[in-house]
Amino acid sequence: MMQQHEFENGLSDYLRGDLLPEQQRQMEGYIEQHPETLEVIAGLQEILPLAERVRQDLPAAELLEQANAGLLARLEREQPIPKEPRRWPGWLRPAYLSASAALLAVIAAGLLWRETRSVALAGVAEKMMQLQSFRVEGWVLNEKGVRTPYRQWLKVPGFIRAEVGEGAEQRIVVSDGTWKWIQLPGGAVYQEAVPPREARTIQEIGSRLHLNDMVAQRIEENAHQFHREDLGEIVRFTIWYSASLGSGPSDQQLQVEVDRESRLPRRIVFSWRQGEEWQVLSELNYGEYNADFPAAMFQVDSQAAPVPQELLETLWYERSISPLFALFPVSPMPADGLEVLFGPFEARGKGSSGMSQVALGGIAYCDFHHYPLKEIVKVLTGLPAETADEVLGQQGVTLKVNYLEKLPWPKIMARMGPILGVRAELVQHQATRTRVTFVQDGRDFPVKTRWWGGGSLHVSTQDSVSRYTFEGAKLTDLIFNLFFNSRHTGFNPDLDTLVFRWDGPPEQNPFAREVDLEWTSSGAWEENYPPLQERFGVHLERIAEPYTYAVLVLTPHADLREDPPALQVGGAVLDAFPNPGNPAVEIPYILDREAQARVRVFNALGQVVRTLDLGEKPAGSYSAYWNAQDEQGQPVASGRYLYRLEVDGLPTPARKLSIAR
């Protein structure tokens, strides 16, 4: 239950749409329970336009004068003291001006102060998602450790032009989001289709930033994951990403320098931790926002041939370039294109299952925990996998692997097959798939009614009745959620495709408009489709077409299995954090089976400094905590230490950590 002071503190952010969905629902629940707050909200309608005018360079003195005049006029309209006794909620103060006006004054001041002084990363992300075009220019660190010039132009929805290197060594990549053309030094031009799963838009850059800001809010801007610095005209956000599967901070750091006035990035620096040092991998300057880039910039004149088989791996970087390279244009190269960092461990006991995958600079980083083997193969190769032995296909495996996104599947399986104990054969299947296309008939339709906040989508089901609530949601998101939360759609997600077709100018795309919809039904598509037709002029077309698709058929081959030592142990220890630590260190670890767990810490001479007996635990992910003290409870000296996990007395490979006092 939300408290009164929490409502007061969060109201301005609520009206701005800067709250997380759960916080927003709490605020709306409080308003429903306290209808007297509607008086305050109504008063804020008079204040928000003043705050908005800050963006139009209204002088601060004039702004504050208008704000004061508006507030005084409101106070004069209110009765100083009610003639009849009035029951005020406990948090309202019955004084010579009503508490609603007093609170209004405080919130108004906060809104104006925030508009003139504060820059939130969520606001930066929102502006990025509204851009039509922009350019980045700077340098990236190539695989040889040499700074290489890098330039990229981006235009909605997914047009890009990237220039890597300079002079006679320059390579050019152009894409319209569906096809990609690569021009090499010497003039040779190759082309390839962009797989739908790899298609990206420039709006996703803002989405990445917005996600980071949401994470930062959830952890209340914990200093080791999110930091903000006010540097005059510039506001610098430093983001230390969370590691996969929630195992602590990762080795990735992003610095975003934002212009205070425009609230758009000026410079973004991407760094990677190498041991105890941070190495800058890219430094890009942003500019030319919403510039009218000529169409010829995103075209290639030469005749293009398909990328030859022998160049598929050589051109992995050029083939990986997407709009997201404006944030992460490069990443450390794994050895031989694929590197298994730990595992695999077979799941012999009960435990949670999950996976995470992120692509940075053409490198995919995957963590799997108790994940089905055939699903791991699907993620790594991009091809569906089948097994005649269902037990084999559903076998849970824990594994951490980094690899080139564009590494051909035969090379991936040549490396992973012996590790996973399977062979893979590519088989062609024939089927009929349906292209489900949504079109809009051109009619006008009502947009969102709320004048504050961002979009929200909520689907709940109780007693076989589904309730859909969409407020300020993009029409595409509304349709997508309504469709995939409905029964009887006849849609096969493994074969069929979903398309939103609009042939007009991007800025007039009706599917990008923000709309509202409240709808209650049994959850069947035949009930959910009519409101889309009647309210928004949306129609659905289905086209059946023959389809040939490839499947990797996996067969077990025990003789191929390479059992790494860790597989026999049944667990692994992950990177400690913070590292260096002071005064305490968290040591994440994974158990693949029920076992007695123990963590030992050693000094540089190999002597045991501390033993942490963790007891018997079921399979799963855990953390041990070391307070940087020895067995006698005395603080250890600054320096480097080793730590390792022991599972039923069997040691896993040791890792390094440092203590800095």
Q: Output the CATH code of domain 565-659.
A: 2.60.40.4070
Return the beta strands (E) in 325-362 as ranges: 338-346, 354-360
Q: How far apart are CA 389 and CA 555, in angstroms?
A: 8
Structure letter (DSSP) for residue 21: H
Residue ranges in the chain whose pLDDT is less than 50: 45-68, 70-72, 74-117, 210-224, 244-247, 348-349, 451-454, 559-568
**Helix/strand/coil for 657:** strand
Q: Give the whole-angstrom CA distance, residue 99 versus residue 114.
A: 22
C-alpha distances out from residue 370 to 374, 571, 590, 622, 651, Å = 12, 12, 10, 14, 21
Amino acid 221: pLDDT: 37
**527-535 contact pairs (CB < 8 A, 24+):** 528/468, 528/482, 528/483, 528/486, 532/479, 532/482, 535/445, 535/446
399-423 pLDDT tens trace: 888 898 888 889 899 888 888 888 8
Can you give the pLDDT at residue 100?
43
Query: What residues form DSSP beta bridges with 458?
Result: 469
Of 648, 507, 175, 589, nearest to 342 by C-alpha is 589
Distance CA 532, CA 539 (A): 8
**Superfamily of domain 119-332 in the CATH hierarchy:** Lipoprotein localisation LolA/LolB/LppX (2.50.20.10)
Task: Give residue 76's pLDDT.
Answer: 45
Q: Which residue spans of the chain are classified as CATH 2.50.20.10?
A: 119-332
Q: What is the largest CA-CA distance in the chain?
A: 92
Spell out where 212-362 has E strands.
226-231, 234-242, 249-259, 265-274, 277-287, 305-306, 338-346, 354-360
Report pTM. Answer: 0.57
Residue 1 pLDDT: 61
Q: Which residues pair with 255 in a beta bridge?
A: 238, 269
Distance CA 267, CA 255 (A): 8
User: In the prediction, which pLDDT does 113 show?
Assistant: 38
Alpha carbon 567 to its chain's center: 32
The boundaries of every CATH 2.60.40.4070 domain in the chain are 565-659
Q: What is the pLDDT of residue 111?
A: 42
Type of residue found at 119: V
Contact 605, 632 (CB under 8 A): no
One-character DSSP codes across 95-118:
SSS-HHHHHHHHHHHHHHHHHHH-
Amino acid sitting at position 627: N
Q: 24, 31, 37, 28: which is closest to 217 by C-alpha?
A: 24
Structure tokens that stand for 172 in this block:
């050019």
